[in-house]
Amino acid sequence: MIAAGSWGAAFTRAFLTDHRYLAYLSGLKTTALISVFAIILGILIGLVVAVGKVSAKGNRKLWIIGGICNIYTTVIRGTPVMVQLLIIYNLVFTSRNTNEIVVGAVCFGINSGAYVAEIIRAGLESVDRGQMEAGRSLGFSYLQTMRLIIVPQAVKNILPALGNELITLIKETSVAGVIAVTDLTKAAQYVGSVTFDILTPLFIAALTYLVIVLILTRLLKALEGRMSRSDRY
């Protein structure tokens, strides 16, 4: 009973007193904004880079594009996202009117793009070679075969891994606090700085992340179920 009482008091102090839930809410808003824009940007970059890589593989003339795409994925996947964030913040976005949410979204988008590119490339390459050969022999052009035969089959293979990447990205935005942006994690830390009880706000933040991820997992599962409706194996 005493333990429960003190837990309740700690929760009240960390969440209700002084309208502190507003801090979590605005932090959650920042986290959501960064995540959504980063996901959109990441998928766009990932698509372009994956197509570049796959095309370059079958065509010697495109070696420059293939090289650029390879350098991009190597550098981005080979360095920590926190370091990338600090470099982009201090090197590229040095203006006085910098919007930190834009910096975060751009940085996490570029970062995620490299992983998404590899996921999409793997998905495209997982489709049997015979599909491309059959498509070409039936008179489709390379692009038509890609669009009508390879990509629809690849999407199914890509979705679970892509969903995983989205979940990772949302959680990874918690390092955004190193630039002057107050995301959910940093909001929790600041509430802890006022109450000098750091654990309770961190539990609240952890629970919030968990709920977001659970909702997202459900949505992705529903989408996968919809996609597999045409499976007849």
Partner 1 sequence: MYFQLEKCTIRKAQARNRACILFREGFIMKKKQVLCILLAGAMAVSLAACGSSSASTSSSGASASSGSTGSSDTLIVGTEAGFAPYEYMSGDEVVGVDMDISKAIADDMGKKLVIKNMDFDGALVAVQSGKVDMVAAGVSVSDERKEVMDFSHEYVDSTEVVVVNASQPNVKTAGSELAGSDLDGKIVAVQQGNIADSWVSSGDNCKPSDIKRYTKFAQAAEDLKNNKVDCIVMDQYPAQELVSSNPELKVMDGVLFEDKYAIAVKKGNEELLTEINKVIDKLKEDGKIDEFISNHASSAASSSDSSSK
Q: Which of 82, 122, 167, 194 binds partner 1 (CB under 8 A)?
A: 194
Q: Nearest approach, Cβ of 6 to partner 1 (angstroms)?
A: 10
Query: Considering the rule CB under 8 A, would residue 140 count as an interface residue with partner 1?
Result: yes
Choose which of 22, 210, 211, 219 interacts with partner 1 (CB under 8 A): 22
Binder to partner 1 among 8, 40, 57, 222 (CB under 8 A)?
40
Shorter beta-carbon distance to partner 1: residue 62 or 220 = 220
Among 34, 135, 166, 175, the residue binding partner 1 under the rule CB under 8 A is 135
Establish if 96 lies at the interface with partner 1 (CB under 8 A): yes
Cα–Cα distance for residue pair 87/105, rounded to 1 Å: 14
Dist CA 160 CA 194 (whole Å): 41
Q: Does 121 bind partner 1 (CB under 8 A)?
A: no
Q: Which of 97, 143, 225, 229 binds partner 1 (CB under 8 A)?
A: 97
Tell me which of 55, 84, 98, 174 binds partner 1, using CB under 8 A.
98
5 binds partner 1 per the rule CB under 8 A: no
SS (H, E, C) the chain: CHHHHHHHHHHHHHHHHHHCHHHHHHHHHHHHHHHHHHHHHHHHHHHHHHHHHHHHHHCHHHHHHHHHHHHHHHHHHHCCHHHHHHHHHHHHCCCCCCCHHHHHHHHHHHHHHHHHHHHHHHHHHHCCHHHHHHHHHCCCCHHHHHHHHHHHHHHHHHHHHHHHHHHHHHHHHHHHHHCCCCCHHHHHHHHHHHHCCCHHHHHHHHHHHHHHHHHHHHHHHHHHHHHHHHCCC
| Rounded distance between C-alpha atoms, residue 214 and residue 208, angstroms | 10
Nearer CB in complex with partner 1: 127/170: 127
Site membership for partner 1, residue 48 (CB under 8 A) = no
How far apart CA 7 and CA 13 sit, in angstroms, is 10
For the CB of residue 61, give the shortest distance to partner 1 in the complex, in Å: 27
| Interface residue with partner 1, options 1, 5, 95, 229 (CB under 8 A) | 95
Two structure tokens written together for 162: 């892509």
Contact status: 215 vs partner 1 (CB under 8 A): no
Residue numbers of the site for partner 1 (CB under 8 A)? 9, 12-13, 17-20, 22-23, 25-27, 37, 40-41, 44, 90, 93-100, 102, 105-106, 109, 128, 130-131, 134-135, 138, 140, 148-149, 152-153, 178-180, 182, 186-187, 189-199
